[in-house]
Amino acid sequence: MREPTWFVWSRRIGLTLLTVFALLPVWIMLTTALKPLGDVQGDFSWWPSTLSFDAFVQMWRTIPLGRYFVNSIVVSVIASVASVVLALLAAYAVSRYRFAGRQLFSVTVLSTQMFPGILFLLPLFVIFVNLGETLGIDLYGSRTGLIVTYLTFTLPFSIWMLVGYLDSVPRELDEAAAVDGNGPMGAFFRVIIPAAAPGIIAVLIYAFMTAWGEVLFASVLTDQSTRTLAVGLQGYATQNNVYWNQIMAASLTVSAPVVVGFLLLQRYLVAGMTAGSVK
């Protein structure tokens, strides 16, 4: 049945307005990054009076942006990979085996998502400090501590999501792998993981994006040497001035790789999210 003309045009106008609304902040960021600092501090304009790329050069000198970028990459990659590995093993056990405490484990994992993350900030801070004072395990102010912190709130959701996805993978694949002479782990690596690739990539993207943009825990549990980008960008605001053009230039620079990677893997994210919700 053909859609009415008024509905088609209403949808087009609505999508156009939504696109403009979404791209407007990006346009302001780009034009601000291309303005001299004096123009940014003056009256607002939609287009720079003088094109200047100084902000893209000076942003590396005002703060140690390169070090913050490396910290964010290391923490986000390790946290996301560790979250996927641990969640995949736990989800496989919950999905394929019946053991004592299975239901309690599933409920406990899901119930952790009901608590706001800020409730864990003080306990983690106290634990990290006490571990450093009593056992000499320096987690406070380290990238390792930040990785462990991110695992505490990415791992439960990753397990819950992968359990739903693995439940949608036919058990006949396990039986076919057993016929071919594979044990449980052989079936896991040779059959289940390839079949669950969209769900794994979706969890990987979720864990990476969560770690990449997190601010609260990174601002408390890191020091000057382990600071991540989400916190380090605050360094452009000094006591005497705020370098808005450098903030926008740095934000565009560090966001570009993540946005490109997200767009390339978007179809896997959608497939993993939808397939994991249907049994």
Q: Which of these ranges, 9-23, 115-129, 178-192, 258-272, has the smallest mean pLDDT?
A: 258-272
Question: CA-CA distance, 133 to 124, in Å (whole number)?
Answer: 14
CB crowding 214-223: b at 16 or more within 10 Å, else e: beebbeebbe
Q: Residue 50 is encoded by which pair of tokens?
A: 């003088």
Options 1.10.3720.10, 3.40.50.880, 1.20.1300.10, 3.40.50.720; CATH for 5-275 is: 1.10.3720.10
Question: Are the beta carbons of 80 and 158 closer than 8 angstroms?
Answer: no
What whole-number percentage of the chain has pLDDT above 70?
A: 95
- Domain spans in the chain, listed from the N-terminal domain onward: 5-275
Is the model more confident about 221 or about 116?
A: 221
* pLDDT exceeds 90 at position 17: yes
The pTM (predicted TM-score) of the whole model is 0.81
Q: What is the pLDDT of residues 42-79, one digit of tens each?
A: 777 788 778 888 888 888 888 888 899 899 999 999 99
Question: CA-CA distance, 6 to 106, in Å (whole number)?
Answer: 49
- The angle formed by the CA atoms of residues 92, 98 and 100, to the nearest 5 degrees, is 115
